[in-house]
Structure 1
Amino acid sequence: MQVDFYHLTATPLDRALPRIAERVIASGGRLLIVSGSEEQRRHLDRLLWSYAPDSFLPHGEAGAGEDASQPILLAGDASAANAARNIALVDGLWRDAALDFDRAFHFFDDEAIEAAREAWKALGGRDGIERRYWIQGEGGRWEQAA
């Protein structure tokens, strides 16, 4: 199980998340995007349709029908009705339910950094979990820091 911590500083979630989602879909995987905020999920729904002029990320909102067929599913909790093995936690809150997936992407900003540090520490002592911490370097490029 791999957990990638993404500290959002220069690049906002609106730019970082679609790139991760593209990679998951290109590899043949499925993605569950989790946020406890209905407003944030609505925003991400619009974003995934229009984040780039030449791109489209097929997705749906949990409970709107056809959940099982969605390559990307937006949900309020970590229940993968689309059989995703990848999960993106986008509201800054770590959920241990993410450990039921093959890979977790935990996005957080400076406001949620203390909680992210606690999650990092808590996961450090668990067997079978590989943690990676990503920061933004020069020019906004993601660099692995740990």
Structure 2
Amino acid sequence: MAEVLFYHLTESRMEDALPDLLEKSVARGWRVVVQAVTPERRDALDQHLWTYKDDSFLPHGSDADGGGALQPILLTIEPEQRANDPHVRFMVEGAVPVDLTPYQRGVYLFDGDDPDQLSTARERWKAEKSAGHAVTYWQQTEGGRWAKKA
């Protein structure tokens, strides 16, 4: 079973929080897939990850570009995409995977000000817990750090 983390964004945007979490995953030697809801969002994330910080580099690519198997971080909209044999699956802004069983870790990153994303996160919490995954809930503090709440 996977460890499933729910990250509740209350102090920053997803674009600001995601790169740090991806850096930590890559530093651990994990291959990652990031699932967005729309092709436009996937493509915007692709561009953002090239420019989010001047002194950092996140090796990544989009499944729209091909060569997904070579990517340490693969961006997709496909709920079953596993071309890069990932250890971790990130779901952003309400994206829902088919099954997290093949992963070491699943991460839901959702905006606390978006009622649809909150609703999806609550539904996924119940679904992942009943599937037998170890689930934890993290919320941002005022300083933008993560505090474990459940």
| TM-score computed with the length of structure 1 as normaliser | 0.92
Q: C-alpha deviations, 1:91-146, integer Å up to 9, x for none? A: 3233242333110110111321122112112222333x111101011312110110
CA distance in 1, matches of 2:144, 2:7: 12
CA distance in 2, matches of 1:144, 1:124: 17
CA distance in 2, matches of 1:13, 1:48: 12
CA distance in 2, matches of 1:65, 1:114: 33
Unaligned runs of 5+ in 1: none
CA distance in 2, matches of 1:61, 1:123: 26
Report the counterpart of residue 36 of structure 1 in structure 2.
Answer: 37
Unaligned runs of 5+ in 2: none
User: Would you say the 8 A contact 1:38–1:76 is kept in 2?
Assistant: yes
CA distance in 2, matches of 1:14, 1:63: 20
How far 1:85 moved relative to its partner?
1.4
Q: In the alignment, which of 84, 90, 108 is matched to residue 92 of structure 2? A: 90
How far 1:63 moved relative to its partner?
3.9
Q: In the alignment, which of 122, 137, 148 is matched to residue 144 of structure 1? A: 148
How far 1:6 moved relative to its partner?
0.8
Runs of 4 or more above 6 Å deviation: none
Q: Given the alignment of the two structures, is residue 108 of structure 1 paired with residue 113 of structure 2, yes or no?
A: no
Which of the two has greater helix per residue? 1
- 1:1-146 equivalent positions in 2, closer than 5 A: 1-77=2-78, 78-110=80-112, 111=114, 112-127=117-132, 129-146=133-150
Q: Say how many residue pairs are matched.
A: 145
Q: Secondary structure at the match of 1:134?
A: strand
CA distance in 1, matches of 2:130, 2:85: 28
**What value does the CA root-mean-square deviation take over the aligned residues?**
1.4
Q: C-alpha deviations, 1:14-49, integer Å up to 9, x for none? A: 111101110111111110011121111111001111
Q: Secondary structure at the match of 2:23?
A: helix
CA distance in 1, matches of 2:59, 2:9: 24
CA distance in 2, matches of 1:131, 1:63: 31
| TM-score computed with the length of structure 2 as normaliser | 0.90
Aligned partner of 1:3: which letter?
Answer: V
